Structure 1
Amino acid sequence: MVSLLPYGDVDFSLRAMAGRAEGFGRFSIGGLNGPLYFVTNLAGFPPLPSSRDDGPGSLRDGCRRKEPLWIVFEVSGTIHLSSYLSVSSYKTIDGRGQSVKLTGKGLRLKECEHIIICNLQFEGGRGHDVDGIQIKPNSRHIWIDRCSLSDYDDGLIDITRQSTDITVSRCYFAQHDKTMLIGADPSHIGDRCIRVTIHHCFFDGTRQRQPRVRFGKVHLYNNYTRNWGIYAVCASVESQIYSQCNIYEAGNKKKTFEFYTEKAADKEEQKSGFIKSEGDILLNGAQPCSQTEHREGCMFHPSEYYPTWTMEAPSHSFKDVLQLCTGWSSISRPKDLPVCN
């Protein structure tokens, strides 16, 4: 079988990724129009506890700058974040060519736009409300691609507070409980604007929230989710989840799709969300949606928002491909070729 994995040519040159995401995050250009910023120092400068992970040549210094930047790494290793690392608009954080792991805290995308995060590892985030990547509030045009995320005290990726137009692709999720939350609270009715695409990702034994959604519209396609601990995908208040050509392989727990009923702050009655499962394959006793759970009249179709996406019928061989091709990889950093206008 020849797999139709997307983005086969984005590693031809450094900035070929810009604007190439599939799905809702397809307009993200990251730091396309800015210079390269080289991360040369993972420990911070000077290397003292009071200034850890900061200073000239640090990732934190590059992310806080206001101008567009394409951030690349000259060194490999672990960045111990002493606090959330805030990312400003028009940034690409490009881990190709090195092995960079973020630990301690995570990235915060707050009121920003046009962010690309590529080929990083997130592991061992500690503390209350500490997520690997926290996207809130009012952030948009974001693409998270080919990252590995595991073992945080809260979520691995959280998308809340009117953040929208986001794609998560080719990522690997493992060793975690509350994996991905989209829409944090039934009182946040502004989250009706949320739109997220999740595709070609591998959820490897994560316990729940692959994802859990409130209010938003989410397109899941060509993902592989196995051995969850409670459920695979959850639709809460008013959410619409279009699950298309995914592989769901149950472990001890067989419930694939969960529906939680909640009351939106501006409504009188409680409602759950909606799921349409189309072309999914269910393995090892994974349970399908029932007809009453579909409620197709309340479901969006991705073609209302974007014309094409790279998708193939799920199969056992495709499952093997996703296990090999998701998450951080040891790919070389492409050359920064001139951009043709």
Structure 2
Amino acid sequence: MASLLPYGDVDFSLRAMAGRAEGFGRNAIGGLHGPLYFVTTLADDGPGSLRAGCRRKEPLWIVFEVSGTIHLSSYLSVSSYKTIDGRGQSIKLTGKGLRLKECEHIIVCNLQFEGGRGHDVDGIQIKPNSRHIWIDRCSLRDYDDGLIDITRQSTDITVSRCYFAQHDKTMLIGADPSHIGDRCIRVTIHHCFFDGTRQRQPRLRFGKVHLYNNYTRNWGIYAVCASVESQIYSQCNIYEAGIKKKTFEFYTEKAADKAEQKSGTIISEGDMFLNGAQPCLQTQHTEGCNMFHPSEYYPIWTMEPPSHSFKDVLQICAGWQSVCRPAEISTNLD
């Protein structure tokens, strides 16, 4: 029987992705109501460049007429109502990464991020005050800081079908205990493959994260970490240990406006633990906590029980894909 996977029809037409994310980022429409912008050069800036399209203020659906590597000399800032659609080409961003700062309605699809260098350089940095964001089918590896960081009151975000590898601090959600505004953060992570990344798949402070149908294997410290006041709902994921067996970690920190230190809460429901992976869920982390349930925020999501065959599917379907760029159908703009 074929695996139940989300988004089976979003490649039918170019803009069918808009507003179709599952989870907290479900309202992200990207550049749905804007014209097509064609990237015609691999140059870092100038006419026809990705940077030139991302800085424009009007909605745009950005597609690529070229394949290859774009060497970013500085963070590439993305303004609101943009879709960066890598379907149909092989585009790799290196040197620096994307910065989603005080923006909304962003879709980033089918790109590769590799080799980001410098202090505080993330593959995709989402801060501050950004919302309605969907990161889908991207491959990320080997950055000097995080692969995807979501901090400073950024919220309503979905990360789906992404591949993470060759990295230490993979995904930080919630900046530090002094940023109490991060209590608003809400993120969904699903159908992703964390392949030997060391830690932070993710690490969360303050906010709410729904993890489902992800495959995390061979981590170096822990798989998932709940820090101060965080709530993580881990549902039907596959955790396959390597040398390190501890799946869930709990770090205690003190919020800036509280007197006592607290860790976070992880609820594990239907998860599969392989090769001696140890959940280590302790009762003190769940007692007295107002734990959220995803159904309070969105009615449905595409999920199936974890299995060895589903693990194989995720390894194939996560990350950049060699798919054609769908045709533009004008009725999608009506």
Matches of 2:48 and 2:224 in 1, distance apart? 40
Write the distance in 2 (CA, Å) between the matches of 1:153 and 1:76.
Answer: 25
TM (norm. structure 1) is 0.96
Looking at structure 2, the residues matched to 317 and 42 of structure 1 have their Cα atoms a distance apart, in angstroms, of 39
Preserved CA contact (<8 Å) 2:150 2:174: yes
Counterpart of 1:185 in structure 2 is 176
Secondary structure at 2:288 match in 1: helix
Q: Is the 8 A contact 1:276 1:296 kept in 2?
A: no
Give the 3 Å change call, closer, same or farther, for CA 296–76 of structure 1 in structure 2. farther
Cα distance in 1 for residues equivalent to 2:151 and 2:159: 15
1:20 aligns with 2:12: no
Give the direction of change, closer, same or farther, for the CA distance of 1:10–1:296 in structure 2 (3 Å limit): farther
**Partner SS for 1:15:** helix
- Residue in 2 that maps onto 1:10: 10
Q: Take 2:8 and 2:157, find their aligned partners in 1: how far apart are those partners?
A: 20
Deviation at 1:288, TM superposition (A): 1.6
How far does residue 70 in structure 1 lie from its aligned partner after superposition?
A: 0.1
Cα drift, residue 296 of structure 1: 6.0
* Structure 1: distance between partners of 2:129 and 2:175: 14
Is 1:275–1:293's contact at 8 Å kept on the other side of the alignment? no
- SS of the residue corresponding to residue 270 of structure 1 reads coil
Distance 1:116 1:21 in 2: 9
Q: Bigger CA drift: 270-279 or 287-296?
A: 287-296
State whether residues 3 and 310 of structure 2, in contact with CA within 8 Å, keep that contact through their aligned partners in structure 1: yes
2:138 counterpart of 1:138: no
Q: Give me the whole-angstrom Cα distance separating, in 2, the residues matched to 1:174 and 1:113.
A: 27
Q: Which of 158, 161, 172 in structure 2 is aligned with 1:170?
A: 161
Q: CA deviation at 1:272?
A: 0.3
Question: Equivalent residues in 2 for 1:24-39 (5 A)?
Answer: 24-39=24-39
Deviation at 1:207, TM superposition (A): 0.2
Counterpart in the other structure of 1:281: 272
Unaligned runs of 5+ in 1: 44-52
Deviations 1:256-284 (A, max 9, x none): 00000000000001000000000000000
Q: What's the secondary structure of 2:106's corresponding residue?
A: strand
CA distance in 1, matches of 2:34, 2:152: 28
Supply the distance in 1 between the matched residues of 2:144 and 2:281 (Cα, whole angstroms). Answer: 33
1:35-70 alpha-carbon deviations (Å, 9 max, x no partner): 000000112xxxxxxxxx001000000000000000
TM-score, with length taken from structure 2:
0.98
Q: Label 1:296 to 1:220 Cα distance change in 2 as closer, same or farther (>3 A).
A: farther
Percent of residue pairs identical: 91
Distance in 1, Cα, partners of 2:74 & 2:314: 33
1:74-130 per-position Cα deviation (integer Å, ceiling 9, x unaligned): 000000000000000000000000000000000000000000000000000000000
| CA distance in structure 2 between the aligned counterparts of 1:309 and 1:5, rounded to whole angstroms | 10
Quote the Cα distance in structure 1 between the aligned partners of 2:279 and 2:195.
20
Cα distance in structure 2, aligned partners of 1:296 and 1:35: 51
| Corresponding residue for residue 230 of structure 1 | 221
Q: 1:198 aligns with which of 185, 189, 194?
A: 189
Closer, same or farther: CA 293–323 of 1 in aligned 2, 3 Å: farther
Closer, same or farther: CA 294–243 of 1 in aligned 2, 3 Å:
farther
Contact 2:207 2:230 in 1 (8 A): yes
Contact kept? 1:94, 1:118, Cα under 8 Å: yes
Distance 1:265 1:165 in 2: 24
**Helix, strand or coil for the counterpart of 1:297?**
coil
Q: Contact 2:266/2:281 (CA < 8 Å) preserved in 1?
A: no
Distance 2:4 2:80 in 1: 32
CA RMSD of aligned residues (A): 0.8
Given that 1:55 and 1:61 are in contact with CA atoms closer than 8 Å, whether structure 2 keeps it comes out as yes
Instruction: Kindly indicate whether the alpha-carbon contact (under 8 Å) linking 1:276 and 1:294 is maintained by their aligned counterparts in 2.
Output: no
CA distance in 2, matches of 1:195, 1:293: 23
Are the counterparts in 2 of residues 113 and 139 from structure 1 also a CA contact under 8 Å?
yes
- Offset of 1:291 from its aligned partner? 4.3
Cα deviation per residue 1:209-232 (whole Å; 9 max; x = unaligned)? Answer: 000000010000000000000000
| Distance in 2 (alpha carbons) for counterparts of 1:317 and 1:7 | 19
1:320 to 297, 303, 312: 312
Displacement after TM superposition at 1:2 (Å): 1.4
Return the alpha-carbon distance in structure 1 between the equivalents of residues 2 and 73 of structure 2.
44
Question: Alpha-carbon deviation of 1:294?
Answer: 5.0
**How far apart are residue 184 of structure 1 and its match?**
1.1
